[in-house]
Each structure stands twice: as C-alpha cells, then as structure tokens.
Structure 1
Amino acid sequence: MERSPRPLGRPRKEQDGKSTKDIILKIATGMFLEKGYPLVSMDDVAQKCDVTKATVYYYYKTKADLFTDAMVQLMIRIRQRIVDNLSTNASLETQLFQIAKAHLQATVDIDINSFMKEAKTSLTEDQLQLMKEAEDNMYGALEQAIKKAMDKGEIPQSNPRLGAFMFVSILTAGNKIDITYKDTFSSLDDLVTQIMNLFWNGLANDS
C-alpha cells in the first residue's frame, strides 16, 4: 500500500530534542516581549525559527492565537517560579523580596501595561479570557501564601486577595523606574528593598 502524503506544512515532531511547536512558542514569546505585538508578523516568527510560514500556521491559525498561547504559557511559568519561591522555609517577606527581584530583572526593558494594551485590541473575548484565567492563577499563588502567613500570625489579618493585587501592582510601578535605577538607587537590591518596604509596611503594620 502507498503511504498517504503528509498534509502540507506539517512539520517534523522534534528538533534537537524539542518539539517544533515548543521552539516556535519560545522564540515567538521573546519576539513579542522585545518588539511588541504589532511589530511581529508570522513571517518574522517563521524566519527566526528557521521554518516555513506554513509550519507556523500548522500550529497557530492566527498571530493572535500564537500571542495568546505565548502569554498564557509565560504566565504559567511565572506562576511556577512564584510557587517555587513561596515553597521555601524563608519568611514571607524574604520570599516576596526574591519574587520582586526576579520580576524586575526579567522585565527590565518591558513596559507591561503598554505591551498588553497594544495586543488586547486584536484578541477575541475567548483569548482574553484565557489570559485572564492564567493571570488569576498567578494572583492565586500569592493569595494563598499571604493567607498562610496571616493564619500563622506572621502578618495581621486582612484581605489576602487584595494583598496579592497590591503586590503585583507595586511591581508594575517598579517596572517604570527599574531601567534607570542606577541613577536613583545604589543597586537593583536597593530598588527592590525600597519597593518591599512600601508594600510590607502597609501590609504588616498593625497600627
């Protein structure tokens, strides 16, 4: 019997031990973060990945689909790093310091608000919902850690969900100044320390 030909554009399953889809997703994520949504095309992604455009379209029907999966998977990885940091025996304050430092190091050249605003107008409601769910899961990991610290008496009782949102919000504010921290702070640690002081004093002050 003759073998049926593969569908046009169907890629090899693996390249150097990684699936073609994973390679496309990893490279596309970096491109979106570096250039922003509007300036990245499917052609650009294909060229950077050294595959045909048909291969990219085999996995993702539209650029919006690719962007959505890239951001969802990125938030899943961030959540896992958050969980890993929160799983140590250190105090919550120390854990949050490490999370804040890692966040600022990873997003030093990215204006998160502008970056997401550029893309949202091109996404469907279902795509936005997928991203919202991934974002909520990130908040959930922080919320659980804050609630645990409250139950242990490490910090006063308050709304742990609000505490998680406040922490992420203050990190977003830090994004606006961290690229120039050398001019106003002695080091990245100094910047993170001052950010944490603003957050922690408000969270843990019982007066």
Structure 2
Amino acid sequence: MSSRSQETRKKILEAARKLFAEKGYDGVSMEDIAQASGVRKSLIYYYFESKEVLFEEVWIGVIEELEKELFPEVENEKSIAGAIKKLIKKYVEFTLNKSELSKLIARERMNILENGESLSRAKGKYVSLLNKLEKIFEKGKQEDVLNDIEPSTATEIISTVDSIPRKSLIKSVEEFLLKVILKEKVEH
C-alpha cells in the first residue's frame, strides 16, 4: 500500500473512531464518515467492504491501544497485589486521558458482546481483553490478596469504569476499587 493510500485509510479510521465514539455504531452512516474524513463514500468501500468491517477495525485498534496501556507495566510488576493496583490505576488513567476511546468502549461494549456473530472479530478481541484481566485477578485470588470478590466480578467492575459519566468521580472510584478488590492497601 502506498503512503498516500495508507494516509487515506488512516484518515477514514480516525474519522470513524471519532464519530462512533460520539454517536455510536447505529448513529453513524458511511456518508457521515465520508464527510468527516473528506473522502468519497465509494473510497471508504475500497478500503472497508462494509460499515461492520470498518467498525471492527476501529474497535480492535481501540482495544489494542487499551492493552498497550494496561499490560506492559502490569506484567513487569513483581507482586500480584502491585500488579492489580497498577492495573486499576492504568485503567482509570486510560479512561481519564483517552476519553474518546473510553467513550467508544463504554458506548459499544454491549453491542459487541450481544452481536457476536456479525462482529465476531471485535467480540473476540474484547473477550480476549476480559480474559487477560480475569487471569490477573485469578492469580490475586490464588495468592490471597483479593478481598472476598470473584475474579470475574472484579473483571466486570474494572471493565466498566469507562461508563462513569462524570470524570470528576473517576479518581475516587480508583480508591474505591482498590479498597473493594485488594485486601490491604498496597504502597509503592
């Protein structure tokens, strides 16, 4: 793919990401994306055969960006309690600092999970993320650093932080999650 071609594709993806975050999958047409990206609608179909394919590409990119924020530092942490604390902190930071992306996740999470047959790549990517989170909490349970909370519940709670509408509450939610999930306060 030529650099001009890559640039056009990138412009389409960025416009689509912004619109999907603002209006949701159902609220955005290919015409909207064409106008926002400054390209003809037919050119979008040259790169992406359908709105679903374009949405999946956007979704997978967003989840990959979230994973890059969460897992490298968590995996380097020596203690599981420290890893869980870092995981919560990083998820909250992602929600606060990458609001367009976290808004897209919050808005479309259920659509992805419920429409798995038509959005199977997107669902697979999201389920993979949830499984990685749950494995970290399972290790915390095995090493007895979790309060009386199931790893699946901890995963569900942390993965919905981006749904909190008032950003001013999110930092206090971080403290709350640490108290609810971990047995004792972990200092760094």
TM-score, normalised with respect to structure 1: 0.67
Alpha-carbon distance in structure 1 between the residues aligned to 2:104 and 2:64: 20
**1:30 maps to which residue?**
18
CA RMSD in angstroms, aligned pairs only:
3.6
Instruction: Please report how far the alpha carbon of residue 148 of structure 1 lies from its aligned counterpart in structure 2 after TM superposition.
Output: 5.2
Alpha-carbon distance in structure 2 between the residues aligned to 1:120 and 1:136: 8
Matched, 1:48 2:42: no
Matched, 1:14 2:3: yes
Instruction: Please report how far the alpha carbon of residue 168 of structure 1 lies from its aligned counterpart in structure 2 after TM superposition.
Output: 3.3
Instruction: Please report how far the alpha carbon of residue 138 of structure 1 lies from its aligned counterpart in structure 2 after TM superposition.
Output: 0.9
Number of residue pairs matched by the alignment: 179
Amino acid at match of 1:14: S
Assess if the C-alpha contact under 8 Å between 2:145 and 2:182 holds in 1. no
**In the TM superposition, what whole-angstrom CA distance separates every residue of 1:62-100 from its partner, at most 9, and x where no partner exists?**
212211221122212222222223133361232123223
Instruction: Please report how far the alpha carbon of residue 111 of structure 1 lies from its aligned counterpart in structure 2 after TM superposition.
Output: 7.9
SS of the residue corresponding to residue 38 of structure 1 reads coil
**In the TM superposition, what whole-angstrom CA distance separates every residue of 1:99-126 from its partner, at most 9, and x where no partner exists?**
23124324588385653445778x672x
SS of the residue corresponding to residue 42 of structure 2 reads helix
Amino acid at match of 2:54: L
Give the alignment partner of residue 155 of structure 1, picking from 135, 145, 157.
145
**2:181 maps to which residue?**
199
Give the alignment partner of residue 180 of structure 1, picking from 159, 162, 166.
166
Assess if the C-alpha contact under 8 Å between 1:170 and 1:199 holds in 2. no
More helix per residue:
2
Structure 1: tracts of 5 or more residues without a match: 1-11, 203-207
- What's the % identity of the aligned pairs? 18
Instruction: Please report how far the alpha carbon of residue 189 of structure 1 lies from its aligned counterpart in structure 2 after TM superposition.
Output: 2.4
Question: Which residues in structure 2 correspond to 1:18-167 (within 5 Å)?
Answer: 19-89=7-77, 91-105=82-96, 106-107=98-99, 110=103, 115-117=108-110, 125=117, 127-146=118-137, 153=143, 155=145, 163=151, 165-167=152-154
Alpha-carbon distance in structure 2 between the residues aligned to 1:117 and 1:141: 19
Pair 1:49–1:173, CA change in 2 (3 A)? closer
Amino acid at match of 1:61: E
Instruction: Please report how far the alpha carbon of residue 36 of structure 1 lies from its aligned counterpart in structure 2 after TM superposition.
Output: 0.8
Pair 1:54–1:34, CA change in 2 (3 A)? same
Higher relative contact order (CA 8 A, sep 6+): 2
Pair 1:114–1:81, CA change in 2 (3 A)? closer
Instruction: Please report how far the alpha carbon of residue 172 of structure 1 lies from its aligned counterpart in structure 2 after TM superposition.
Output: 4.6
TM-score, normalised with respect to structure 2: 0.73
Instruction: Please report how far the alpha carbon of residue 181 of structure 1 lies from its aligned counterpart in structure 2 after TM superposition.
Output: 5.8
Alpha-carbon distance in structure 1 between the residues aligned to 2:182 and 2:113: 32
Instruction: Please report how far the alpha carbon of residue 57 of structure 1 lies from its aligned counterpart in structure 2 after TM superposition.
Output: 0.8
Assess if the C-alpha contact under 8 Å between 2:154 and 2:181 holds in 1. yes
